[in-house]
Amino acid sequence: MNADNILTFLHLLAAFWYVMGLAAVQLPLVRGWHSGDLTVQAAFEEASHYQGVLLVPRAIAAGASGLFLWAQMGYNLLTTGWLLALERLYLAWACGRAKLAPPQARRVGCFSPDLEQALADNVPLVFGGLATLLVPVMTHLSVFKLF
């Protein structure tokens, strides 16, 4: 087993973990936005927790392992066209992700200003949807190396 195989395995593992983290954040967000029940809207706290525990570390692991993999395989990280596009998509996701303010409504028992603001803001859903759509695009760039 050589370094290329090990790095490929680690990168694929990190990519799967990233997708699991993305699902762990997106599902509670969608559930919270579509519910009128305060206990279910506490799903925002769950999504915020999973973003810090699962999504962000997995995205960092996927990005780092990808850079190590492509460098090990001899690709120039600054001049290879498809790799530059992949890096820009990754950075667009990293710069665009939005954190949720943890709502206090579950403890108070009514709608708090934080919760009302979180419900009025669709940015986390939009960026989460874009991140979900970027996964197949980034995979396609990595596999087929179009340019």
Structure tokens at 132: 């979900």
Cβ within 8 Å of residue 21, ≥6 positions away: 50, 51, 54, 55, 56, 57, 58, 59
Condensed to tens digits (0 to 9), the pLDDT of residues 94-142 reads: 766 545 444 444 544 555 666 666 566 666 777 778 888 888 998 888 8
Q: Taking a C-beta distance cutoff of 8 angstroms, is the pair 25, 47 a contact?
A: yes
Eight-state DSSP code of residue 138: H
* Global confidence as pTM: 0.74
- How far are the Cα atoms of 28, 79, 132 from residue 71, in angstroms, in the given order? 37, 12, 26
Condensed to tens digits (0 to 9), the pLDDT of residues 43-100 reads: 777 887 888 888 888 888 999 999 999 999 999 989 999 999 998 888 877 766 545 4
Burial class of 72 by CB neighbour count within 10 A (0 to 12, 13 to 18, 19+): middle
Which pLDDT does position 100 carry in this prediction? 44
Which pLDDT does position 47 carry in this prediction? 81
Q: Please state, as a whole number, how many other Cβ atoms lie within 10 Å of the Cβ of residue 27.
A: 15
